[in-house]
Structure 1
Amino acid sequence: MHFDQKDPSYFWDTWKFTSRNGQQYWNFELPDELKGIIQSQADWEKPEGKAFLEAFDRAFIFDKNINPNSGDRVFRYLRNKQVGEPKLVPSDATASLKERAHTALLNGFSFYETLQEPDGNWAGDYGGPLFLIPGLIIASYITDTPFDQPMQVLMKRNLWNHQNEDGGWGLHIEGHSTMFGTVMQYVTLRILGEDLSNPDLKRAQDWILNHGGAVQIPMWGKFYLSVLNVYEWAGNDALLPELWKLPKWLPFHPKKYWCHNRMLYLPMSYCFGNKVKAKETGLIRALRKELYTTSYDSVNWKKARRQACKIDIFNPVSKWYTGLSKIVNGYETIHSKTLRKKALKYVEDYIDHEDLHTRYINIGPVNQAMNSICVWHKYGKDSEQFQNHVNRWKDYLWIAEDGAKMGGYNGSQLWDTAFAGQALIEADMETHFPEMARKIYHFIDITQIDRDPKDHEKYCRDVTLGCWPFSTIDHAWAVTDCTSEGMKTALLYNNKQHISKQHLIGLERLKPAIDWLLFMQNEDGGWASYEKKRAPKWIEVLNPSLLYENIMTEVTYTECSSATMQGLKEFSENYDYRRDDIQAALKRGSKFIQSKQDADGSWYGCWGVCYTYGTWFGIEGLLAAGFEGYKNGTPATEIKNGCDFLLSKQRTDGSWGESFESCVQHKYIEHEDGQIINTAWALLALMKAKHPDQAAIERGIEFILSRQEANGDFPQEGISGVFNGNCMETYTAYRNVFPLWAIARYRKGCE
């Protein structure tokens, strides 16, 4: 069988994508030539199987030097085959800008409709971080639950595609090489069958050893390697399960942690308390030799606790953390077995609670892998609980032209769908695309959270009924800005009389969301992400990660505050319910947003790259609170300063282009090229404020139109998402939604 003569699309066709109520997953299907030949995993060793996998691997070779961000070509190719070409309107280069904008909207939405799932959401690559897939592979190795061979091949291919020229890997696909990234990818590739006969793996090993070996890996890496049994638990600062049994009023009780950090500490404390580790195998013994500059038995594990590669350190540990770690490490040497047993029982129950509430998805990919290990350890490989975890692994995996990766969430379904819905409404094109509009409303409808966490107070949770998540109803973690964007989208569609309202998202369904959003406002007037602030900000001095900032407790964000204020305002324009409370909340929220504005007029973006994103939200939030834009000639000072900042960053070609380094360095860093997403964010802010510099706005619109492709799509450019200041994420939906939204707002302003 001459698989090497096949076009890459032949191999892309072996993947089938499914979305049901937002749950997204990929399945591999054998091509006809292999049916009857490959009937078990062992059959991949047959000549035909090997030949296929070799050609299959080559079909996903990807040049990161062109752009590390994949363009979702596999998914878009398959959707095109399934639904056909978009219905396009001929463009006329001699037409006015307003007319060309109208054509761009028709073609852009026509293309984007071809990507919409039957259940109404949009799927896409939500990758970027490189430390996610290693955690899952380590879990699969420890639990002896290997992935099928085609998936393993593409997991390896993705890692090889993103190896840096120096042999290492970064924290994310655009990042410089780090010890954390390189060791984690090295271990993953070894588990997946690579060895040092591969010169690229040897380059990775050389990078590790030249930078001090695996003792230099930061805290998260130490944990993973300990579970894998290639690093000793004695080399970790104690992750005491007993902390869960401390009085809950203490500021450093895990209940007070930011939920993502809390839900990581949960399985970490289980594994540490039980000293969980993989059985010693030949591979484990080999890794112990390959990862260290001295013999494994001679490593000073106590000293290793404090060691970390300088290249990795984004947020150094404080003297307060060092002091506390000495106390908890001392306690570990004398800990009470009785108390440890009680603490572990609570941790076990808590993990079960999180699994059940999220239907085994868990809050994110890292604790999905960690919880899988804990559940396997507690219940066994054949247990229903562990198998439920394995069934959810696929929710996090994504196939693109650069291979198989693990997403930063189980998708961004609600988030992307809400923004697409708002863009379509602002374009006034729901009548042109009635089926798209109907599906959007349907997905918003079915994704409103239908349950509260059981015993939520016992397990440090809030109510969630009636709110919206970032991804799916199964995931069911309520988020402030997602609830606001979901609610706002529903309200906008409720006001369109021609939209079918079979299941109207009306007042009674929205009251719990309003109650929750008002409850979620913090004392400083702003809103955090999942929960109210539960601990003072100084608790951040106990951050042990080295890799991230603002992980210890919830913090208030410009974006979450602005989105919530916009949602509350939209609601109050439709209903009287708690109107006085909403007005008071908007006033307090505006003061918070004012306080977050930098001296140059910008706002730092915590969830997008970066100042263009934050400033868009800052301006829109103040406008929602009643601040004056340019409509009446004299804008509020904050609005003027924000707009002046944006205009000062516009490039000569009319675009805005911002590098992810803005997030890391906390100052505006130009991208080497104009970016359609940054340009759209800046334009949306300027136009919402009614800025009078029409020439600047039109130059930005011209730039966006120049980047639109013949089929109505837009190109994938630089990475645009971020979390905790230092790790970036890809949003493939952003390249379609935000440029169209900006064009829509421009065209609307011309009317």
Structure 2
Amino acid sequence: MVPLFILCTLKATAINPNKVSILELFVTHPDEETHYFPERTVLNKIFLGLDKLGNATRPLIPKKMHELAITRAKDWIIERLNGEDGLGGISPAMMAAYEALLLLGMPKDHPQVVTARKAIDKLLVINEHDAYCQPCLSPVWDTALAALALQEADKVGNGANLTRAYDWLKSVQLSDEPGDWRISKPDLAGGGWAFQFANPHYPDVDDTAVVAFAMAESNLPELEESIHRATHWIVGMQSKNGGYGAFDVDNTCYYLNEIPFADHGALLDPPTTDVSARCAMLMARVAQDHDEYLPALARTIDYIRSEQEADGSWFGRWGTNYIYGTWSALLGLEQTSLPKTDPMYTKAAAWLKSVQRADGGWGEDNYSYHDVSHSGKYKFSTAFQTAWAVLGLMAAGEARCPEVKAGIDFILRTQQTNGVWNDKCFTAPGFPKVFYLKYHGYDKFFPLWALARYRNELNKQ
């Protein structure tokens, strides 16, 4: 938001040399539109009123105060430019930062402006007949999930690849670097991972939990220090309600979603079940030998229990949607000492079975974020959502149920001749109801993980 503050304050306009227009998208001409920000609630109306008051009284603010605010905003951006990995490691922030620096008069050949532009260019994918800009890169997340799939498939045979993966992950684990999370936890030692190749100001809890859990499951040597630094950081990032947000602690000032800018209703980073379950997964795994993590784990289990829907599913913040949330919760709970007769397991398993499609697979599209009656439903099945469902059922102790067998058969039927799968759905919400991403690895490592887990479950008896 800080780069946007500069752009809005200085009333930036596009140069637009080719005079490109999208007027055909407007029912009312944009210069005549007076309701850009709908009045949703009483608090929202108050904020809109304050915004109008601020605009009216702005000329009364001393010029030096304006200049000081812009200077501080510029300094904030430059501190977090993050080299060629970009501000926040995500394209909207990177583009806004680049535009803000130019608007402030920095020349295009200034080293910091050049670096900011290179960060954007690295996200571009330019093919012969098409081109697009990736919203971000996800090497840490993808590496950890791929490692879990490879470990399930053949831990010994894939040992060399796993060692290389964990050596790289160790090299990018964070420690004492400055980070915005330290505002809430100034005395907590670092130990997390970011999502991208580099993003030290913003390590995230979700990546950290998955990486450290994968390391713990690998049983490879020389990973203990990384695992415990990560687990200690995870415990320290727990919110008061026992859950976990992705980047911050107790980021629950929901009134901020009513400010005019937050029309997408997703300005905050509150605790969610999917992230919390992966933290529980890690803490339970490590607590087998370190019981100091048990109190935090117990609080997280209570949080997960409180978030379960009446039908047995869980909401998915970072993947679509209830299938993802339910898989996440069950995989996390599986590592705990809860019996498989616990209602959380039985209700979740019953829900997953109830939304299985006739072809044996599972599918859910993003409309379930708008209408909960569409949870777990879609017009076709996908390999990776089917994998989530069968992994969840197996975590609930249902490896030999007919629904799992049908799901495995669907995955096998849809495997391509090159050995992988290809689902084209964008089912990873950046912001639910606003924009969605596609992880190109999801339809590769999740089906492999599910097939390997099923084989291993059958071989147990």
Q: TM-score, normalised by structure 2?
A: 0.89
- Point out 4+ residue stretches in structure 1 off by more than 4 angstroms: 286-296, 313-317, 356-359, 399-402, 454-464
State how far apart, in whole Å, the 2-side matches of 1:624 and 1:377 are. Answer: 52
Q: Match for residue 550 of structure 1? A: 266
RMSD, matched Cα: 3.1
After TM superposition, give the deviation of residue 671 of structure 1 in Å. 1.6
State how far apart, in whole Å, the 1-side matches of 2:241 and 2:327 are. Answer: 21
Q: Match for residue 172 of structure 2? A: 447
State how far apart, in whole Å, the 1-side matches of 2:29 and 2:143 are. Answer: 53
Q: Match for residue 638 of structure 1? A: 344
Indicate which of 368, 393, 413 corresponds to 1:686.
393
Deviations along 1:8-31, one digit per CA (max 9) or x if unpaired, are: xxxxxxxxxxxxxxxxxxxxxxxx
Structure 1 residues 461 and 606, CA gap change in structure 2 (3 angstroms): farther
Q: Match for residue 593 of structure 1? A: 304
* Secondary structure, counterpart of 2:131 in structure 1: strand
Structure 1 residues 328 and 699, CA gap change in structure 2 (3 angstroms): same
Q: Match for residue 276 of structure 2? A: 561
Kept after mapping to 2: 8 A contact 1:605/1:611: yes
Kept after mapping to 2: 8 A contact 1:481/1:560: yes
Kept after mapping to 1: 8 A contact 2:151/2:158: no
Deviations along 1:469-524, one digit per CA (max 9) or x if unpaired, are: 1121356521001011111122222x14xxxx5xx3332x4443233211211111
* Secondary structure, counterpart of 2:369 in structure 1: helix
The one-letter amino acid paired with 1:306 is H
Indicate which of 142, 147, 150 corresponds to 1:416.
142
* Secondary structure, counterpart of 2:247 in structure 1: coil
Q: Match for residue 537 of structure 1? A: 254
Q: Indicate the larger mover: 661-670 or 596-605.
A: 661-670
Deviations along 1:250-275, one digit per CA (max 9) or x if unpaired, are: xxxxxxxxxxxxxxx20111122333
State how far apart, in whole Å, the 2-side matches of 1:506 and 1:460 are. Answer: 24
Output aligned runs, 1:560-709, within 5 Å. 560-573=275-288, 575-576=289-290, 579-580=291-292, 582-629=293-340, 635-667=341-373, 668=375, 670-691=377-398, 694-709=401-416
In the alignment, is residue 404 of structure 1 matched against residue 119 of structure 2? no
State how far apart, in whole Å, the 1-side matches of 2:366 and 2:269 are. Answer: 23
Output aligned runs, 1:210-289, within 5 Å. 265-278=1-14, 283-284=18-19, 287=21
* Secondary structure, counterpart of 2:425 in structure 1: coil
State how far apart, in whole Å, the 1-side matches of 2:118 and 2:42 are. Answer: 38
Indicate which of 191, 199, 217 corresponds to 1:492.
217
In the alignment, is residue 734 of structure 1 matched against residue 449 of structure 2? no
State how far apart, in whole Å, the 2-side matches of 1:628 and 1:419 are. Answer: 26
Q: Match for residue 331 of structure 1? A: 57
In the alignment, is residue 434 of structure 1 matched against residue 159 of structure 2? yes
Structure 1 unaligned regions, length at least 5: 1-264, 630-634
Structure 2 unaligned regions, length at least 5: none
State how far apart, in whole Å, the 1-side matches of 2:149 and 2:90 are. Answer: 28
State how far apart, in whole Å, the 1-side matches of 2:334 and 2:179 are. Answer: 39
The one-letter amino acid paired with 1:722 is P
* Secondary structure, counterpart of 2:54 in structure 1: helix
* Secondary structure, counterpart of 1:550 in structure 2: coil
State how far apart, in whole Å, the 2-side matches of 1:592 and 1:648 are. Answer: 25
The one-letter amino acid paired with 2:133 is M
Structure 1 residues 654 and 357, CA gap change in structure 2 (3 angstroms): same
* Secondary structure, counterpart of 1:424 in structure 2: helix
State how far apart, in whole Å, the 1-side matches of 2:367 and 2:448 are. Answer: 26
Output aligned runs, 1:107-186, within 5 Å. none
Q: Match for residue 228 of structure 1? A: none
After TM superposition, give the deviation of residue 383 of structure 1 in Å. 0.6
State how far apart, in whole Å, the 2-side matches of 1:743 and 1:661 are. Answer: 28
After TM superposition, give the deviation of residue 292 of structure 1 in Å. 7.3
The one-letter amino acid paired with 1:524 is N
Kept after mapping to 1: 8 A contact 2:391/2:450: yes
The one-letter amino acid paired with 2:370 is V
Kept after mapping to 2: 8 A contact 1:657/1:675: yes
After TM superposition, give the deviation of residue 387 of structure 1 in Å. 0.6
Deviations along 1:398-435, one digit per CA (max 9) or x if unpaired, are: 246872211121x11111110111111122x1322333
After TM superposition, give the deviation of residue 708 of structure 1 in Å. 0.8
The one-letter amino acid paired with 2:248 is E
* Secondary structure, counterpart of 1:723 in structure 2: strand
Q: Match for residue 196 of structure 2? A: 471
After TM superposition, give the deviation of residue 597 of structure 1 in Å. 0.9
Structure 1 residues 569 and 401, CA gap change in structure 2 (3 angstroms): farther
* Secondary structure, counterpart of 1:318 in structure 2: helix
The one-letter amino acid paired with 2:420 is D
After TM superposition, give the deviation of residue 591 of structure 1 in Å. 1.2
Kept after mapping to 2: 8 A contact 1:321/1:544: no
Indicate which of 115, 122, 131 corresponds to 1:388.
115
* Secondary structure, counterpart of 1:722 in structure 2: strand
After TM superposition, give the deviation of residue 604 of structure 1 in Å. 1.1
Kept after mapping to 2: 8 A contact 1:452/1:465: yes
The one-letter amino acid paired with 1:395 is K
* Secondary structure, counterpart of 1:674 in structure 2: coil
Kept after mapping to 2: 8 A contact 1:414/1:470: yes
State how far apart, in whole Å, the 2-side matches of 1:408 and 1:492 are. Answer: 31
After TM superposition, give the deviation of residue 533 of structure 1 in Å. 2.2
Structure 1 residues 270 and 461, CA gap change in structure 2 (3 angstroms): farther
* Secondary structure, counterpart of 2:80 in structure 1: helix
After TM superposition, give the deviation of residue 294 of structure 1 in Å. 8.6
The one-letter amino acid paired with 1:271 is L
Q: Match for residue 306 of structure 1? A: 35
The one-letter amino acid paired with 1:649 is V
In the alignment, is residue 718 of structure 1 matched against residue 401 of structure 2? no
* Secondary structure, counterpart of 1:389 in structure 2: helix
The one-letter amino acid paired with 1:642 is A
* Secondary structure, counterpart of 1:405 in structure 2: strand
Structure 1 residues 467 and 305, CA gap change in structure 2 (3 angstroms): farther
Output aligned runs, 1:358-373, within 5 Å. 360-373=86-99
State how far apart, in whole Å, the 1-side matches of 2:253 and 2:167 are. Answer: 40
Indicate which of 224, 233, 237 corresponds to 1:506.
224
Q: Match for residue 244 of structure 1? A: none
After TM superposition, give the deviation of residue 721 of structure 1 in Å. 1.1
* Secondary structure, counterpart of 2:244 in structure 1: coil
Indicate which of 69, 75, 95 corresponds to 1:349.
75
Kept after mapping to 1: 8 A contact 2:204/2:247: yes
Kept after mapping to 2: 8 A contact 1:521/1:532: yes
The one-letter amino acid paired with 1:564 is C
| Structure having greater relative contact order (Cα 8 Å, sep ≥ 6) | 1
Kept after mapping to 2: 8 A contact 1:480/1:529: yes
Q: Match for residue 236 of structure 2? A: 519
State how far apart, in whole Å, the 2-side matches of 1:613 and 1:293 are. Answer: 37
The one-letter amino acid paired with 2:63 is K
Q: Which protein is bigger by CA-based radius of gyration?
A: 1
Kept after mapping to 2: 8 A contact 1:362/1:368: yes
| Identical positions, percent | 24
* Secondary structure, counterpart of 1:748 in structure 2: helix
State how far apart, in whole Å, the 1-side matches of 2:181 and 2:271 are. Answer: 23
Kept after mapping to 2: 8 A contact 1:273/1:340: no
